[in-house]
Structure 1
Amino acid sequence: MANAASGMAVNDECKLKFLELKTKRNYRFIVFKIDETIQQVKVEKLGSPEETYEDFTNNLPADECRYAVFDLDFTTNENCQKSKIFFIAWAPDTSRIRSKMLYASSKDRFKRELDGIQVELQATDPSEMSFDIIKARAL
């Protein structure tokens, strides 16, 4: 099994669902969770294409770390329709230290498995990933 220094193993479903989000746009977002008992990153929640950014943020636990991807549709200042895939490392201040360290040490390896991420964001509290911040990072 992978140790904390090299990062967690990544469940194949994570890569498969991310590919579906990227190519088929089957999902608006995916929330990933590290299952510490099997030392593996797994899919925790899939958001349907109709769900909003608010639905997405409501699916992040207030006191536990998660990784997530969000497919943001937006209109540029030139009035062009675009979309960008965000990778969000959610590590609230209230989560356990061990959990924060585990997520931090595994992030880069996990992110490499998801080919097509355009913007990365780290947040420790909801204000750091407000919709205004996300939209500003997309432009």
Structure 2
Amino acid sequence: MSYRWLSRPNASSGMGVADHTKNTFLELKRKKVHRYVIFKVDEGKKEVVVEKTGGPAESYDDFTAALPENDCRYAVYDYDFVTSDNCQKSKIFFIAWAPSSSRIRAKMLYATSRDRFRRELDGVHYEIQATDPTEMDLEVIKDRAH
């Protein structure tokens, strides 16, 4: 007896990562070309793609304003800071943005593909899951980084 119909691939195994997506992350990590990168799941292509990048001069407020209010996204943010002994440091945050007002289907899609996508981003220091802006407030980022 065959149960082939049961072996449908799940959403996480079917979601790819575009080369452009990986390269954009590397530009943020190595070359500091971007302050942040916002990624979106393209259901048609079944892959994670770059939706928006922010230049090095953009602020954390610019970054949070670029996230959609009612839809899920992945993002990386390069947080620069000075330590108590006056050293310039940088930490890369991966943020899984899933606002409570987003559609259940979107939340499920982003939740099931998050781990696989996150593993593609070598060099992330911290991960934050946020369902509302207070969970990824700049103070939260500062506390985690220091």
TM-score range, shorter chain: over 0.9
Indicate if the aligned counterparts of 1:7 and 1:107 stay in contact, CA closer than 8 A: no
TM-score by length of 1: 0.95
Alignment of 1:56-71 (within 5 A): 56-71=63-78
**What's 1:136 paired with?**
143
Could you report, residue by residue, the CA deviation over 1:49-94 in whole angstroms, capped at 9, with x for unpaired residues? 0100000000000000000000000112232210000000000000
Return the match for 1:106 from 113, 127, 130.
113
Higher relative CO (CA 8 A, sep ≥ 6), structure 1 or 2? 1
**What's 2:21 paired with?**
14
Indicate whether 1:122 and 2:115 are aligned.
no
TM-score by length of 2: 0.91
**What's 1:97 paired with?**
104
**Unmatched tracts of structure 1, length 5 or more:** none
SS, match of residue 52 in structure 2 = strand
Q: Distance in 1 between matches of 2:112 and 2:13?
A: 7
Identical residues among aligned pairs (%): 62
Q: Distance in 1 between matches of 2:39 and 2:96?
A: 10
Could you report, residue by residue, the CA deviation over 1:88-126 in whole angstroms, capped at 9, with x for unpaired residues? 000000001011011011001001111100010000000
**What's 1:83 paired with?**
90
**Unmatched tracts of structure 2, length 5 or more:** 1-8
CA RMSD for the aligned pairs? 1.1
Q: Distance in 2 between matches of 1:7 and 1:56?
A: 29
Q: Mean Cα displacement is larger for which, 3-12 or 61-70?
A: 3-12
Question: Which ranges of 4 or more aligned residues in structure 1 deviate by more than 2 Å?
Answer: none
Query: Radius of gyration: which is bigger?
Result: 2
